[in-house]
Structures are given as structure tokens and as C-alpha cells.
Chains A and B, each alone.
Chain A
Amino acid sequence: MSELLIKNATVYDPINGINGDKMDIAVKDGKIVDSIGGGAQTIDAEGRLVYPGGVDAHTHIAGSKVNIGRIMRPEDSRSGIKPRTKITRPYTGYTVPNVYAMGYRYAEMGYTTAFEAAVPILKARHTHEELEEIPIIDKGGLTLFGSNWMVMDAIREGDQERLAAYVAWGLLASRGWGIKIVNPGGGEAWGFGKNVSGLDDPVPNFEVTPRQIIRNLAEVNEKMNLPHSIHLHCNNLGVPGNYKTTLDSFDICKDIKSKRDRQSLHVTHVMFNSLGGNHWGDFESKTDVISDYLNKNDFLTVDMGQMIFGNATTMTADGPVQYRNSTTFKARWGNGDVELEDTSGVTPLYYSPQVYFYGVMWAMGLELALLTKDPWKVLLTTDHPNGGPYVNYPEAMTLLMSKKKREEEIAKITEKAYDRWHISGIERELDWYDIAIKTRAAHAKVLGLVEQGKGHLGIGADADIAIYDIKPDETDATVEYDRVKAAFRKAAYTIKGGQIVVKDGEITATPMGRTYWVRTKVDNDGYNRMMDDLKFKFKNYYSVNMANYMVQDEYVQHPVVVETEYAEV
């Protein structure tokens, strides 16, 4: 098959400890190899910046929520239009791009892998239908378990084997990669228009607490030896003072150990959960406390959920939050309850720098990344498209790299925000190596994708490579951030599986990516107890028959299945 040689690259490959080394990279049959023969296609990088292909561990790119966003927002779809070419289908949208723009724009930024962060099992078929249509990038999905009746019943009855069997079955049914927990218990409470107020507030009618849901799923996650840890969206998102709930949620998993070389808890878009104060009047950033916790503990990771000023479409399985957003801001409201499983909400918002709480929240994402010493602990995300669309990652990258750029942005923000944040005093500026960690290496590590060949350029890794038009030796990102941002936005080359898919920021080829999912063997009595319960629920409560529920193989045309096995630890 094809061979490719990238010569004279300035490589940052944190997983292999390579920090700006000048080297060549050889590619054969889609993988990184030691060396190849002469005559291979050659790209002369001329000293330019080379990263492993970008990995996004938390984004909303496919499924019913995203599509409701599109259907709700024709005004969004008419922005970002690019007509079809001989190679590409038309691009549409900014916050909710069509499937083609979704893949093309990731690839244009040098990203080659993105994981959809919320998949309801009942609607997983839809998610996969869209994932299958997103060109170029590799994908996966995290399955929602946090308000599921099967989960809550097993936990209440103290049957962890049954819980594990169900999680395994749910991952299979949804072709999912890991356990996503959103506002644990709150989705069920929202079934009657209520919410849970904290970790020890029992879920109505199910008599389990959010704390129990998190703890049990975290334990089961490790017994199942899943590649990824539990992936938690904490309770009380967007509520002033919620940082306390967030810290308490961290503590739940403090003593849980993973057999794998990764965290045992990932808390997502933690910016939205680091709010101090008691109400919006005295609201302030508590990222200092959250970062302090991260600096003292090694069992957890987080992602930023960076806010980007301008249009956003918020979408989450946290239904009550979206009702609150839509009524507070008089915005359109899409709600999507999923029987027995969870809920979701979609609401368009506009983040203005002249609104102080948005100004503070903008700062908070950056604070988390800059106040937390270890770059591996805080991933760069915008919780696309909640904090803003992923096409703004280069904006976030340069904000982290340049204090001057931050000051430039701060000047645009209402002064009412200034005494509520910590950003003004932060001197730290991240370097090329840090950015490589925060945009690919740590994402792959957190997701458990390193052994799948993602996030690095070691021998045997997938030949997913980004070459940017930046010569690190000659570029001072702390001042030349505009040029750096432009270069990160449009890669000089993106190579996916050894194939050049982007050249000079333009799509050159549109191969289909793979979909990663996990199959776990749970071979015990718990499985039988689970199946009895499941059949009962299908017979009495589900509106579809069990035989029609599970995602069929037809919907995952290029699967990569990782097998694990349940074991008591």
C-alpha cells in the first residue's frame, strides 16, 4: 500500500516525550513506521510544526440533539455556507454544521478524531447514522447512563453485577465507547419537571442519590476495565455556588483506582461547574479552588468547556438547565425526553462580552487550564457547540499561549467582570508542547485511545498527522498569535490514516473514518438478573420492542471493537 515520508518536521509528540525535535516521519499502510524505502511520496515540512492529529474527547457532533439544533436554527445553517466542489459536498452552519462541514472543518484544523459526548441508547441509531456521514475523522460515542431506570434500579437494590451487565449491554446496544453521566438522577426528575438539587437529594420515585449513581458507575467502570473512565457532567450546572457540588463529586471517586494508565474520573466542561457566589448578583469564579484540587490530586482529569463570544447552540442531556436557559433568555427551547433513559435540551444562546457573567465564564475556562499546573489534567474543549463551536479551538489555543492576546480580549469585556475572576493576574503562557498535550495527547490518554494508536506518532501509531504552517523556532506565539491562530485554523497538511486529506487548508480527499466501541464480557449471574429486568421493562414500559432496539451492524460500517472483561477488583 501507500508510503509517505515527512521530512524536516519539528515534532511535538508528548506521549513519546518528543519536544520539538527535528525529525522525519515515515508512514506505511496508514501507520507510523520506523523507515520506508526510497520512492515514497515525500512532504518536505521545512521545519514546520508537526503534531499528531488532533483528538477531541468531548464534542456534540451527531445525533438527535445536534439535528434538533439544525432544524431549530435555519439562520445558523445559512452562515458558513460553502458551495459544493468536485471533492466536497456543501458546507453549512456555524454552531450546528451539516455532517460534511462537521468532518471537513475538523480535518482543516488538523483534527482527525472526535468523540460525541452524549448518546441516548434509544436514539443511538440516529447518532450512528450521522457519524457514518461525517467524513474523514474517526469517531466514537459516550453512552448516557446517569438517569437510566435499569441503572437506578440495580443500584438501589445493591446489585452491582447486574449494573455491570446492563452497562455492557447498553454499550453494545448503542455501540458506545464509555459511560457518560449527565446531571445524575436529574434527567429522571425532569420527567415530571423537577430536578435533583445535590449529590444526596434522592431521585424521585427511584430512591437513589446522585452520589450513589456516580459511585456505582465509577466502580463498575473499573471492574469492566473500560478504556475510558466515567465521564461526568456534574449536578447543578450553571448554578452559582455549584463549585461545592463539583468538589464533592470529585471526592466520590477519590479512592477508585484504575488498572489502566489513566484517571478514574473525567469531569467535563468543568468551567460551567466552577461557579462561586450564592446567586448571579455575587457570582464569581471559583476556578482557583477547582484547580487547587486538581493540583493536589492525580485521579481525575477535566476539560475546559471554554466559552467563545458570539453565537452558541447549547445542547445537553441536562434538560432542566435548558428549560432554565430558554426561559431566562427568552430563547427557543427544544426538549427531548427519552423514555426510561434520560432527557435533553437544546437552546440557542448569544454570549456577549458586555454581559458580565459571560465575561467571567470566558475567563474561567482559561483559568482552569492555566492555574492547573499539569497540562495533562485539563483538556482544551469548548464543549462544542455549548461554549462555542469547535472551529474556535485555535482561538482558545492562542489565548492559552499569549498573555497579550488575553489582555486584548479582556479589554473588550465589561469591567463588571473584572473583580470576579482570576485571569488578570495569570502570567502563564503555554508552549507548543503544552498545546500538543491539551489538544491531542491528553485527549487520547483520557479516552483510552493511546493503545489504539491515537494522539501520538510512535511506531505503530495511526498515521494521523497535522502539519501547520508555523516554524516554532522562528515564531513567538506570545506576540504572533494572529498568525498562529490562522495556521492552526487551516493546517498546511492533515494526514489521516496515511492519506493526505487537507493541503493548504483545503480538503483534498474525503475517506470515511472508523467508529470505536467497546464490548465487555460480563459472565455471571448478574447478567441473567439483568436480562429478566430488561425484558420486564421492555414488555411494560418501552414503546419499542427489545428485538428492534439494539443498533445493528449496518449502522457502524467501519467499526473498531475493543474487547474487555468484567472482573471483581
Chain B
Amino acid sequence: MQTVTLVPKEQFKISIEAELITPDNFAGKSNTEIGVLIAYEGNTPRPLSELFDIKVDGSAEGADDVKIEIKGSVPRVKRIGEGMTGGRILIDGDVDMRCGAKMKGGIITINGNADSWVGQEMTGGEINVQGDAAYYVGAGYRGESCGMRGGKITVFGNANDFVGEHMCGGEIIIKGNAGILPGVSNKGGKIVIYGNTDMPGSEMTKGTIIVKGKVADLMPVYQREGIESIDGEEFIKYVGDVIVGGKGELFVR
């Protein structure tokens, strides 16, 4: 087991692009080897040791045995955990955009809030956001046909608009409210929203959306199919989006 502890040396103003912070990149590396890895502060390359106090305990053969602990809030550090295949990242505070993008495995836990595109295009693994998430939880990149394809994202607070846009698989749980158009254009996967939302499931062709709170406006593209019980709770089941011949299932109370 290898534990890498990163303590930010300052509250960064300009966001740091740090796609290098992954268990895969850190596995088996010493403090010095990790310290010389390059992140970008805007246009300026910065060795990680300039940005963080780095401590490495133990060693690991592969990503699965690596735990990265970021001690402190990093609301201006982007792309943490990008493409990781295993291991754990624990962020003790907020995190910037695209955390866990293209993630394949492992677990990221964010004790604070996550900025937009958390879990963008992820295919596996798990992300837990203890606070709120901004826009595009588990969504895709502009123009891609699929956002999230697998894995699980749980947001314990609220999420903003476009949760799971273009989602093709996996699961997103929002314990609080979600903004407009969750699950827009999705082709698979499951979204559960415990709180309120607006216009869920537009252009959904496949997949499931369950809304336990209120829906401000239901899209006028869903065929009502009757009442169905999920885990002991009764929901109205809708199927659509009928315009696109969708077979998506939308459960609303």
C-alpha cells in the first residue's frame, strides 16, 4: 500500500491542470519522482513539488494499491484522477472541474463541492461528492455521443443543470435537488434524484430516471404507463421521449 499525501501550498487563483494526479501515475514513485511531475498553472509548467507538500508512505506495484490524500480544499485544481484505473483519491475539500474524467476504476471521494463535469466520460469506478456538484455531472465532451458509460457517481448535496447528459451507462445518484434537463439525450444508465428537478429525460432513448421529489415541468414527450412500485414507493411510470421513439423510463411521484 502506498499513500501519497498532497497538501496545497497556497489557494491557487489560476486553475492548475493536474491530470497527472492519479494512482496510476504515482504508483511506485518516490516523493522526488512525484515532485518533478509537471502540472500547468495556466500556461506555466509547474513541478508538483512547487504546488504541493508531498509525502509518500509505502510503495505500490500498481494503481490499485495507491491512495492519494489531498489535505485541503483544491477548488482550483482541475482534472484530478483523470483516466485512473484503480486506487483511491480522497479530497478533503472542494475540487475543480473534470475531476475523475475518463475514470475507469477506483474511488474518488470529495468531501466538499465538485465543480462542473465531475466524472465526465467515466467508464468505471466510483465518485462520491459529499457537498454539491455544479453542471454536467457524468456528462460528455461537446459533440461526443456518449457521456458516462459506466461506474457510479453519488452527489450528497445538490447538482446543477444537465446531470448525466448523453449518459450511456452507469449510475448517478443525486441526494439533493438537480437543475434543469437531467438525463437529456441519454441512451442508457440510471439517474436517481432524491430532491426536485425540472424537465427530466428530454430526448432520452434508453435508460432510467427516478425523481423522488417534485418535477417542476414534465416534458410534453412522455407517455404515461401507469403506477409502478420501486423499493416500496409508488411512482407514475412514463415512457419516452416519444419524439425520438425513446424507450426511456421516467418515474415521477
Contacts and interface: CB of A to CB of B under 8 A. Distances in A.
A182 B143 CA distance: 29
Interface string A32-74: 0000000000000000000000000000000000000000111
A76 interface: yes
B235 interface: no
A330 B246 CA distance: 13
B188 to A, nearest CB: 15
A74 B142 CA distance: 6
Contacts of B244: 330
Contacts of A75: 141-144
Nearest to B145: A75
Interface string B129-163: 00000000000011110000000000000000000
Interface string A421-456: 000000000000000000000000000000000000
Q: How large is the interface on A (under 10, 10 to 19, 20 to 34, 35 or more residues)?
A: under 10
Nearest to B142: A74
A35 B144 CA distance: 55
A501 to B, nearest CB: 29
A66 to B, nearest CB: 16
Interface in A287-331: 330
Nearest to B205: A330
Interface in A62-113: 72-76, 78
Q: How large is the interface on B (under 10, 10 to 19, 20 to 34, 35 or more residues)?
A: under 10
A244 to B, nearest CB: 34
Interface string B224-253: 000000000000000000001000000000
Contacts of B144: 75
Contacts of A74: 141-143
Of B142, B143, B144, B244, chain A has the most CB atoms within 10 Å of the CB of B143
Nearest to A78: B141
A549 to B, nearest CB: 34
Interface string B16-47: 00000000000000000000000000000000
A76 B145 CA distance: 12
B186 to A, nearest CB: 14
Contacts of B143: 72-76
B240 to A, nearest CB: 16
A75 B142 CA distance: 6
Contacts of B141: 74-75, 78
A200 to B, nearest CB: 37
Contacts of B142: 74-75
B126 to A, nearest CB: 26
A92 to B, nearest CB: 13
A76 B144 CA distance: 9
A73 B144 CA distance: 8
Contacts of A330: 244
Nearest to B141: A75
B63 to A, nearest CB: 25
Contacts of A72: 143
B192 to A, nearest CB: 27
B101 to A, nearest CB: 12
A347 to B, nearest CB: 13
B165 to A, nearest CB: 14
B43 to A, nearest CB: 12
A74 B141 CA distance: 8
A334 to B, nearest CB: 12
Interface in A143-167: none
A72 B142 CA distance: 9
Nearest to B245: A330
A75 B121 CA distance: 12
A78 B140 CA distance: 13
B202 to A, nearest CB: 15
Interface string A106-123: 000000000000000000
A339 to B, nearest CB: 29
A74 to B, nearest CB: 4
Nearest to A71: B143
A332 to B, nearest CB: 8
Nearest to A331: B145
B28 to A, nearest CB: 28
Interface of A: 72-76, 78, 330
12 contacts: A72-B143, A73-B143, A74-B141, A74-B142, A74-B143, A75-B141, A75-B142, A75-B143, A75-B144, A76-B143, A78-B141, A330-B244
Counting from the closest, the 8 A-B pairs by CB-CB distance are: A75-B143, A74-B142, A75-B144, A74-B143, A73-B143, A75-B141, A75-B142, A78-B141
Given A74-B142, A76-B143, 8 more contacts: A72-B143, A73-B143, A74-B141, A74-B143, A75-B141, A75-B143, A78-B141, A330-B244
